[in-house]
A = this chain, B = another copy of it.
Amino acid sequence: MANISLEEARAQLMSLQRKMAAYEHAMGLIYYDGCTTAPKGTADNRAATFSILSEEIYRQSTSDETVELLEFLDANKNDLSSDEKRMVYLLLKDIREMQKIPMDEYIAYQELLVKAEDVWHNAKEASDFEMFRPYLEDLFAYQKKFAKYIDPDMDPYDHCLNEYEEGLNMAACDRFFSQLREGIVPLLKRVSEAPQIDDSIRHGYYPADAQDKLSYHLMKQIGLDLDHVGLSTTEHPFTTSLGSHHDERITTHYYEDDFAFSMYSVVHEGGHALYDTGSADELAYTVLDGGVSMSIHESQSRFYENIIGRSRAFCRLIFPELVRLFPDQMEGHDAEEFYRAVNKAEPSLIRTEADELTYSLHIMIRYELEKRIMHDELEVKDLPAEWNRMYKEYLGIDVPDDKRGVLQDSHWASGLIGYFPSYALGNAYGAQFLAKMRETVDVDACIESGDFSAVNDWNREHIWQHGGRFTPSELLERVFEADFDPSYYIDYLEKKYTELYGL
């Protein structure tokens, strides 16, 4: 690097990231195509291309030339902007991790991911865990190996948690989940003893094409820019950026017997998309583009889905559109009934359909199971039985089949081990964000008026624009001006459900 000026090195830092963004665009699109449009028998092509492109990006982003560049910049970090410093830090951290994984294993793992995704789809459809089992065993085996390669001294599950939330570990999760449990379990008991909510308004026949119109209405309502955010349908809803935050895709799934599933999927994924597309423009095509961590991401998605989307004000705002799209089905119902129906608390089988009160219990089950597998205390083959046992223990319900049990989520098929706690943390962060937001924004008035700009502007200013500039804990500290405190979330639930169930 003796021959290069700092200016040139800074320019190369930007082109390196542009190149990585291009490969990620390609690979992200291949994945997205596989979930949305691709014919059934085409997974082999995607696996082949994925494997070749991952090899290319691995080779290029860990090359001597790249490492030299980054080390040169790191040695001169006092002359870099804070954004550049953070880019160099994150890139070097990734390279150091990648260098510890043998290239052939890295490629084989990327290929496995594509196939596993495909098999999971079919296994879920057939409700046949055995079909998926060998792939899931391989996925966990790779995760264990990679954790050992990267952090030989760290507990392998701590390593997984840390991948999605810098600094998170089992000790913090155990503490957080136990505090949640103490708040939720007695509240859920009181709720279950109260008169139950009639949610029949959700159920009936809601044609997919009318639900599709509702999706676009919701996307516009929460402030998404449809020139830069697209919608497709998939088995399991998700959000992805393609190339940069200027091209964001969300997906949903229409069940014609329950419009609320897709409705809240759209608002949830829409929250992710708001966060991503809210990144400062100068972060596009860099590693700082998009959200900082999964839990902060989930704080935004679940803020829009629940705190806004399941508020009485939002239900009132949307109800006239429901009447317009589903005139017969809404006959004789009102906004209050709709509000109560989408907030009915009841132990249920499917995480993504769970109400706010029982939701965290679904997460705790996955957290416990992952932890035990990563610690070799549970074998993948015993996962369905153990899953079903825990659903009985935590939620008191019987799981009728793997489709509605252990195969319901796509996360493991995508290699996302250690991700689930983000959802529960996100919920809790969101409640504390709300308390802070309320100091300057009349949130309910915003929602009632249908003009979300004050809410979105607050989020953009405090959270979205920063992308990955700060670590999650730095960001939380800046926004909260205090420590993270799960009691905001417990208070939020307490207040909401006490009123709702007249406790």
Contacts and interface: CB of A to CB of B under 8 A. Distances in A.
Nearest to A284: B45
Interface string A222-236: 000111111010000
Interface string A10-42: 000000001101110111011001001111111
B37 A228 contact: no
Contacts of A110: none
Interface residues of A, number: 41
A477 interface: no
Contacts of A225: 41
Contacts of A53: 22-23, 26
A45 B33 contact: no
A118 to B, nearest CB: 12
A44 interface: yes
Given A29-B30, A37-B37, A242 B42 contact: yes
Contacts of A249: 37
A292 B431 CA distance: 62
Contact of A39 (B23, B25, B228): B228
A8 B226 CA distance: 51
Contacts of A46: 243, 247
Given A38-B247, A225-B41, A244-B45, A33 B29 contact: yes
A107 to B, nearest CB: 12
Contacts of A232: 37
A22 B52 contact: yes
Interface string A31-73: 0010011111110111011001100100000000000000000
A18 B227 contact: no
A246 interface: yes
Given A26-B26, A36-B37, A37-B36, A228 B42 contact: yes
A433 interface: no
A228 B46 CA distance: 12
A18 B48 CA distance: 8
Nearest to A226: B39
A243 B48 CA distance: 8
Interface string A250-293: 00000000000000000000000000000000000100000000
A226 to B, nearest CB: 6
Contacts of A244: 45, 48
A74 B66 CA distance: 35
Contacts of A36: 37
A222 to B, nearest CB: 16
A39 B285 contact: no
Nearest to A232: B37
Cβ-closest 4 pairs across A and B: A41-B227, A45-B243, A26-B26, A22-B52
18 contacts: A19-B52, A19-B56, A21-B48, A22-B48, A22-B49, A25-B30, A25-B45, A26-B29, A37-B249, A38-B247, A40-B227, A41-B228, A42-B242, A42-B243, A45-B242, A45-B244, A45-B247, A48-B285
Given A38-B230, A41-B246, A48-B243, 13 more contacts: A18-B48, A19-B56, A22-B53, A37-B37, A37-B230, A37-B232, A38-B247, A41-B228, A42-B230, A45-B242, A45-B243, A46-B243, A56-B56
